[in-house]
Amino acid sequence: MKSLYAGDLPTATPQVIAATADSLPEQAGALQRARAFAEPLLATQSLDTGENVLQHADAVAAILRTIGGSEAMQAASYLVYACDHLNKPHEIIAKAFGDNFADLALETTKLVRLQRMARLAQQSASHSSSAAPMAQTAAAQTESVRKMLLAFSKDLRVVMLRLASRLQTLRHFAATKLPVPPGLASEALQVFAPLANRLGIWEIKWEMEDLSFRFLEPNTYKQVAKLLDEKRTEREASVDRLRQQLADELVAQGVHATVQGRPKHIYSIVKKMRGKSLGFEQVYDIRALRIVVPTVPDCYAALSLVHTRFTPITEEFDDYIARPKPNGYQSLHTVVRDAGSQPIEVQIRTQAMHDHAEHGVAAHWAYKEAGAKGYGGSVTAAGEYDAKIAVLRQLLAWERDLSGAHASDGQGMFDDRIYVLTPDAAIVELPQGATAVDFAYSVHTNLGHRCRGAKVDGAMVPLNTPLKNGQTVEVTAVKEGGPSRDWLNPELGYLVSHRARAKVRAWFNALAMGETMAKGREAVEKLLQREGKTAIKLDDLASQLGFHNADALFEVVGKDEFSLRNIELLLRPPEPAGTQDDYMPLKKPRGVSGGKGGVLVVGIDSLMTQLAKCCKPAPPDLISGFVTRGKGVSVHRSDCSNLRNMVQRSGDRLIEVEWGAPGGKDGNVYPVDVAVEALDRQGLLRDISEVFAKEKMNVIGVQTQSVKGTAWMTFTVEVAESGRLTRVLKIVNELSGVRSARRR
């Protein structure tokens, strides 16, 4: 049986490469065209790190090519940096390369700008006299990671471009020996390297860790490098010889296995020394081998062969297959010495154990999703959709890794939020403890209203089940319907998101408003039917009553805030149409004998006169007379609109009249109407009435109406002459809340 050597295998394609392989359309000569397009824009430009932009883009494209990125993806690296130098980048790039390239370039550029601004803010804070608190620094990194995660979820290709760009930035500082901004190196070590690790892009992960550590702790880096008695190339050659020997012996024993060997990188050595408080001489896995076999029995068969071939160090053996770690990790660990007494760490595991160890829970899910198609040295999900789901879950696992790192310091990085997946492989951000109902409202308000059930990772769950990071949520909805009032009960735990709660409340408020308006409409329509006025347009009726539209009228009527009596008064006014000439007798004080009345008809003696109710004239108003049929002369104010209408029809009946005794010396008093508009308040009617009382004006009638905080009042007062009324209205206008007071 032939053994599979690591050297014989093609380089395993990282999952993110597989998930984005067909996302950009391959175009003939796309890479050359993209570089030619960007060169005149970038050749003379520099990044804030001091590196030439075109050289940076060239290097990013080369890194993408190394990790298996397509030619189209390499072309995108040039277009990203061209965006900053174009007036309408999306339009121009889309015209030259298509919308797909334009979308990727714009999305990546947005993230680059956000990270650049965050880095500059951190640098300015570090240069200020008062250093920024650690909490602020952690909060800034939290927000940066959050934006990265959401940007990656929109377009997975952004991940590759950002990883390659950050690695090239570190290479630039290593080559130029320029001082590295501390924030840039620490972010690469704490954020980008774990991301590359989660996505299985080992080349970037290892190099990024070593370069970042070299910049952050140069003395420690040099010390460990010096302690390594072999150069890296020599160590790699030594490990490769051991791998070859072990692989040959496994073949001889009939064990089908993949044998991988690699020396420990400097950062991983330091990390282990610090994590286990070991001295350099106690780190046994400076040289390490990994054996991956099909089954668990094969693991123990391989272990037996290793212990036979090499000298085991008994106290360094651990069986994590029989006793898995709390996080589910399984493997056989042993340390042996070769013929030269050099220690070698050997790990033996199955493929499923290996994927779980390398990618955590995300890879475990991806392994199940891939099913019978299996793995050829790396996770290969069944189809583009499964690959995308697997990568998104790895991104979420990366976020949890960072959260756990901060939680160990007593401050959770993402304690207040979780990220779950839709069936279409999109990430949805929710508050901690959110349920499927919160998820539904986050996707779309209408979906939330119609939500009736949910599946989490394919299993039906109650709607108030708290969701966890990385779960895939599918909502079952009815075609029509609304939320349940139980969802607003905090004790039942259906809703955590304030946004979702507000949407549910808004739905019930709208429902209650609809019922209120229906009640108001029914009452108004019944009144119109009773009065025989069904032909009236409802919007016109509302406008006459001071409302913007009929719905506003129905609302206040339905809430019992507006009396139907007001509508009746409008429909049946005290002065029906066509009775403008009704008689209005003059009121005289006691002891005054009746004479000819207060009005004289010029040139005619002893002719009956009467004051019109429509305009209620009073001295010294300019007046005119109109001869009526059987009721003498009707006296109107000269500016009365009814008088103008009657004159247009019968102009020959207009006659000249005048007041009998000037200045009210005849003892007559005249009723006039005063209209007051004011901000409704307690005591308003009392205050206005007191003004009339102090001015010795008799109030013989009052009508009031209040709508939405505004009061309309009509006072009927008796005056001897209208000039005095003008002075009284001026006093009323000065009262608190009064907007206008005028004679009608």
pLDDT in tens, 540-551: 888 888 888 888
Kindly state the tokens that stand for 609: 């006169």
Single-letter residue type at 597 = G
What pLDDT sits at residue 260? 84
Q: Quick one: how far is CA 107 from the chain centroid?
A: 17
Residue at token pair 């951000």: 429
Kindly state the tokens that stand for 215: 């910049």
Helices (H), 258-380: 266-276, 296-309, 351-370
Q: Which residues contact 591 (CB under 8 A, 6 or more apart)?
A: none
**Where residue 533 falls among pLDDT bands split at 50, 70, 90?**
confident
Q: Determine what percent of the chain is predicted with pLDDT higher than 90.
A: 8
* Under 8 Å between Cβ of 469 and 400: yes
What pLDDT sits at residue 25? 54
| Residue of higher predicted confidence among 387 and 630 | 630
Counting every residue written for the chain, the total comes to 744
Within 10 angstroms of residue 275's Cβ, the number of other Cβ atoms is 8
Q: Is 658 helix (H, G, I), strand (E, B) or coil?
A: strand
What pLDDT sits at residue 435? 92
Look at residues 602, 608, 732 and name the one whose alpha carbon lies nearest to residue 678: 732
What pLDDT sits at residue 726? 85
Look at residues 394, 392, 368, 395 and name the one whose alpha carbon lies nearest to residue 382: 368
pLDDT in tens, 53-94: 899 999 999 988 887 777 888 888 888 888 888 888 888 888
Is 129 a residue whose pLDDT tops 70? no
**Where residue 513 falls among pLDDT bands split at 50, 70, 90?**
confident
Alpha-carbon Rg for the chain, nearest whole angstrom, is 44
Integer Cα distance of 731 and 693 in angstroms: 12
DSSP string, 181-234: PHHHHHHIIIIIHHHHHHTT-HHHHHHHHHHHHHHH-HHHHHHHHHH-SS-HHH
For the ranges 36-40, 318-322, 367-371, 426-430, the lowest mean pLDDT is seen at 367-371
Single-letter residue type at 648 = Q
| Residue of higher predicted confidence among 445 and 600 | 445
* Under 8 Å between Cβ of 102 and 186: no
Is 384 a residue whose pLDDT tops 80? no
Single-letter residue type at 691 = V
Is 135 a residue whose pLDDT tops 70? no
Kindly state the tokens that stand for 366: 């991806």
Mean pLDDT of 461-488: 87
**Where residue 170 falls among pLDDT bands split at 50, 70, 90?**
very high
What pLDDT sits at residue 386? 57
| Residue of higher predicted confidence among 506 and 113 | 506
C-alpha distance from residue 75 to each of 58, 79, 85 (Å): 10, 7, 17
**Where residue 605 falls among pLDDT bands split at 50, 70, 90?**
low
Mean pLDDT of 521-530: 86
Q: Is 459 helix (H, G, I), strand (E, B) or coil?
A: strand
Q: Is 39 helix (H, G, I), strand (E, B) or coil?
A: helix
* Under 8 Å between Cβ of 516 and 555: yes
Q: Which residues contact 345 (CB under 8 A, 6 or more apart)?
A: 284, 285, 287, 288, 289, 333, 334, 335
Integer Cα distance of 425 and 428 in angstroms: 10
Tell me if the bond preceding 14 is cis, omega within 30° of 0: no
